Amino acid sequence: MIDFWEILQEHFVPFLNATGMTLKLTSVSLVLAMVLGLLVAFLKLSDNRALNWVAHVYIAVIRGTPLIVQLMFLYFGITSIVVLPSFWAGSLALAIHSGAYVAEIFRGAIQSIDKGQMEASRSLGVSHWKSMRLVILPQAFRRAVPPLGNQFIIGLKDSSLVAYLGVAELYGAALSAQAENFQPFETYMVAGLYYLVLVLIFTLLVQRLESRMDKANSGRQRDTRTRIA
Amino acid sequence: MIHVRGLHKHFGALHVLKGIDLDVEQSEVVVLIGPSGSGKSTLLRCLNFLEIAQEGTIELLGKSVVPGKDDLDDVREHVGMVFQHFNLFPHMSAIENITMAPINVKKLSKEEARATARDLLQRVGLADKEDSYPSQLSGGQKQRVAIARALAMSPDVMLFDEVTSALDPELVGEVLQVMKDLAKSGMTMVVVTHEMGFAREVADRAIMLDDGQIIEDTTPELLFTAPTHERTQRFLSQVL
Ligand SMILES: Nc1ncnc2c1ncn2[C@@H]1O[C@H](COP(=O)(O)OP(=O)(O)OP(=O)(O)O)[C@@H](O)[C@H]1O
Ligand SMILES: [Mg+2]
| Distance set, CA A158 to CA A66, A89, A98 (Å) | 11, 15, 9
Region B90-98: what's the mean pLDDT? 97
CA atoms of A199 and A157, how far apart (whole Å): 8
pLDDT of A5: 82
Specify the ligand 1 atom closest to the Cα of B34: 21
Task: Find which of B75, B105, B143, B147 to mutate to test the A interface (most A CBs within 10 Å of its CB).
Answer: B105
- Summarised one tens digit per residue, pLDDT across range A136-162 is 999 999 999 999 999 999 999 999 999
Which of B7, B10, B11 gets mutated to test ligand 1 (max ligand atoms within 8 A of its CB)? Answer: B11
Strand B29-33's sheet: what is its strand order?
Answer: B79-82, B157-161, B188-192, B29-33, B205-210, B213-218
Is the per-residue pLDDT at B48 higher than 80?
A: yes
pLDDT of A1: 59
Is the per-residue pLDDT at A49 higher than 50?
A: yes
pLDDT of A2: 65
Is the per-residue pLDDT at A67 higher than 50?
A: yes
Given pLDDT bands bounded at 50, 70 and 90, which one contains residue A213?
confident
Instruction: Please calculate the CA angle B182-B198-B227 and round it to the nearest 5 degrees.
Output: 130
Is the per-residue pLDDT at A93 higher than 70?
A: yes
Strand B14-24's sheet: what is its strand order?
Answer: B14-24, B2-11, B55-60, B63-64
pLDDT of A217: 60
Is the per-residue pLDDT at B2 higher than 80?
A: yes
Distance from CA of A217 to the nearest CA of B (A): 8
Specify the ligand 1 atom closest to the Cα of B43: 18
- Summarised one tens digit per residue, pLDDT across range A5-15 is 888 888 888 88
Select the residue of B88, B105, B150 nearest A126 (Cβ to Cβ): B105
Which value does ipTM take for this structure?
A: 0.94
Structural domains of chain A sorted by starting position, each given as residue range(s) with its CATH number in brackets: 2-228 (1.10.3720.10)
pLDDT of B99: 97
pLDDT of A203: 93
Nearest CA in chain B to A228: B138
Give, using CA atoms, the residue closest to atom 2 of ligand 1: B11
Is the per-residue pLDDT at A225 higher than 70?
A: no
Residue (of A6, A32, A4, A12) closest to A173 by Cα position = A12
The pTM score is: 0.89
A81/A35: higher pLDDT: A35
A78/B133: higher pLDDT: B133
- Summarised one tens digit per residue, pLDDT across range A118-135 is 999 999 999 999 999 999
Contacts of B110 (CB under 8 A, 6+ apart): B99, B103
How big is chain B by its Cα radius of gyration, in Å? 18
CA atoms of B162 and B198, how far apart (whole Å): 12
Region B76-81: what's the mean pLDDT? 96
| Distance set, CA B233 to CA A21, B6, B178, B192 (Å) | 77, 26, 30, 18
Task: Note whether A142 contacts B: Cβ–Cβ < 8 A.
Answer: yes
DSSP string across A31-46: HHHHHHHHHHHHHHHS
Distance from CA of B204 to the nearest CA of A (A): 25
Given pLDDT bands bounded at 50, 70 and 90, which one contains residue A83?
confident
pLDDT of A8: 81
pLDDT of A216: 65
Is the per-residue pLDDT at A204 higher than 90?
A: yes
CA atoms of B158 and B151, how far apart (whole Å): 8
Residue (of A208, A187, A174) closest to A22 by Cα position = A174
Region B175-191: what's the mean pLDDT? 96
**Helix, strand, or coil (residue B101):** helix
Give, using CA atoms, the residue closest to atom 13 of ligand 1: B37
Task: Note whether A124 contacts B: Cβ–Cβ < 8 A.
Answer: yes
pLDDT of B71: 92
Region A39-67: what's the mean pLDDT? 96
First to last CA, chain B: 31
Contact A134 B104 (CB under 8 A): yes
Region A195-199: what's the mean pLDDT? 95
| Distance set, CA B214 to CA A23, A122, B16 (Å) | 66, 27, 12
Is the per-residue pLDDT at B55 higher than 90?
A: yes
Is the per-residue pLDDT at A228 higher than 90?
A: no
| Helix (H) or strand (E) segment spanning residue B20 | strand B14-24
Region B60-71: what's the mean pLDDT? 91
Region B19-48: what's the mean pLDDT? 96
Contacts of B95 (CB under 8 A, 6+ apart): B114, B117, B118, B121, B130, B131
Phi, psi dihedrals of residue B108, rounded to the nearest 5°:
-70, 155
Phi, psi dihedrals of residue A152, rounded to the nearest 5°:
-65, -40
Select the residue of A120, A127, A130 nearest B83 (Cβ to Cβ): A120
CA–centroid distance, A157 to ligand 1, in Å, is: 49
Is the per-residue pLDDT at B77 higher than 70?
A: yes
